[in-house]
Amino acid sequence: MTDFAAEAAELDAADPLAAYRDRFLAPESSDLVAYFDGNSLGRPVADVPERMAEFVDGPWGDRLIRSWDEQWLDLPLELGDRLGRVCLGAAPGQTFVGDSTTVLLYKLCRAAVDHQAHQGRTEVVLDTDNFPTDRYILEGIAAERGLTLRWIETDQRTGVTVDQVREAVGPQTALAVFSHVAYRSGFIADAPAITEAVHDAGGLVLWDLCHTGGSVPAHLDDWGADLAVGCSYKYLNGGPGSPAWAYVASRHHGILRQPIQGWLGRKDAFTMGPGYEPADGIRAFVSGTPPILAMVPLQASLDLVEEAGIDAIRDKSVKLTDFVIRYVDEELSDLGVEVVSPRDPNLRGGHVTLRRNGFRAVNQALWDEGVIPDYREPDGIRIGLSPLSTSFAEVVDGLDALRDAIERLDAFQ
C-alpha cells in the first residue's frame, strides 16, 4: 500500500510552485483543514487587503473622478488583454472584463443569433449537462427570438463529443454553446475539432471557459473560436461576484451587435449624444460603468498566474488530480467510492468528481470538520484543486477525512 502522506511530503518538497501557497490569505483563526473548492471560489491573494486600501486612499480617495480619465476607462480592456495573453490564447483587442457571466452570455449569444437570423438560421445547439446558467440563458433567448433549441444528450461522466456535435449541427444552426471543461465531471472538450465542425455547418461557437481560466490553458485564437465567456472568481481568485470577461474574435467586430446598448459602449461616449452608434472594436460590447473596485483582486491574482505561468500551473494540476485518483483507487474504492471524472489527464480539467450513495450527508460532515469540497447531484463530491494554493499534504489530510466520514456514516447504518 502506498504511504500517501510520505509521498505528499516528497511531492511538496519538489514542487516548483510550492512557495505560491504562502501568497494566499490563511488566517490563523481559521478552522480550515483542506480546501477543495477553489473551482467554485478561489482563496484571496495575501496582498489584496493592502491593494484595496491603496486603491481607496489613492485612485479613489485622492484622485476621485479624475481616475476615470487617468486609468479606469481603459482598465476593462487592458485587463482583458492581459487575460488573453496570460491564459486565454487571445491576441489584444478581443477581450474585456465587466458584467457577470450571465449578462455576458446573454449579450454575446443574442448578438450571435441576431446576426445569424439574417442568414435564415434559427437553431441553437447545446448540451443537456452544460452549466445551468448557460442553458437557462439560451432557453430565454430562444423564447424571445422564436428559435429552436437542439439538445445534445451528454454523458455526465464525460462531456460533449465531436461526433455528437457533427450529428447535431446543420444548415439551420445559428450558434452552438458548450463548456470547455464540464462543470460536473471535469471533462475537457475537443475545442478545436468541435469549433471546426460547427463552422463547417455555417454556425458560430461560444465557449464557456469558467472552469478553464487560470487552470487549463486555452487557445481561443488557434481554436478559431468566435466567442467566449468566463468568470474570475474560481481559479482566478477574483473574489465572490468578481467581474466576468468576454472574448469576441476580431473578425466579428463591427458585424455582431450586442443588445444591451449602454453609454460606455457608444462611440464618443462622453458626447452624450442622441442615438446609439457602437464604438469600434471590442469596446462595442461594453455596456455600462465597469466594476473598477472589483477588478483590484483580479489584478493581484493575475500577477501570480503570469509569474508562475499557465503551463506550469496546468502541470501541477495534472499531478494533483492524478494523486487524488490514485488515493481513491487504493483507499476509497473498497468503500464504494467511484471516480467519474476522466482518468486520462488530457481529458480532465482541474477537479475530480467522486460518486457514492450518501455523499450529500458526507459532504456536510466534512464542512463541519473544516474540509471543504462541494456536492453536485447525483451523489457527487467534487475535489477542486487550485494548483497555486493547494499542497499535496493538504490533499491527503482532506481525503483522509473523507475516508473517516464515510466509515462513520456506514457504521450508523
Catalytic residue numbers, as ranges: 131, 208, 233-234, 382
Q: How long a stretch of residues is the chain? A: 413
- How many other β-carbons are positioned within 10 Å of the β-carbon of residue 114? 16
Q: At 247, give phi and psi (nearest 5°).
A: -120, 130
Provide DSSP, 22-37: GGB---TT---SEE-B
The strand pair at 351-355 and 371-372 is best described as unpaired
For 335-358, give one letter per residue: b (16+ CB within 10 A) or e.
eebebbbbeeeebbbbbbbbbbee
CA distance 20 to 305: 10
C-beta separation of 230 from 212 below 8 A: yes
CA atoms within 13 A on the CB side of 377: 3
Q: At 327, give phi and psi (nearest 5°).
A: -60, -45
Provide DSSP, 186-245: -BBP-HHHHHHHHHHTT-EEEEE-TTTTTTS---HHHHT-SEEEE-SSSTT---TT---E
CA distance 301 to 238: 7
Give how far Cα 164 sits from Cα of 112, 127, 159, 176, 377, Å: 22, 10, 10, 12, 24
Using only the alpha carbons of the chain, give its radius of gyration: 22
C-beta separation of 39 from 353 below 8 A: no
C-beta separation of 250 from 229 below 8 A: no
Amino acid at 105: L
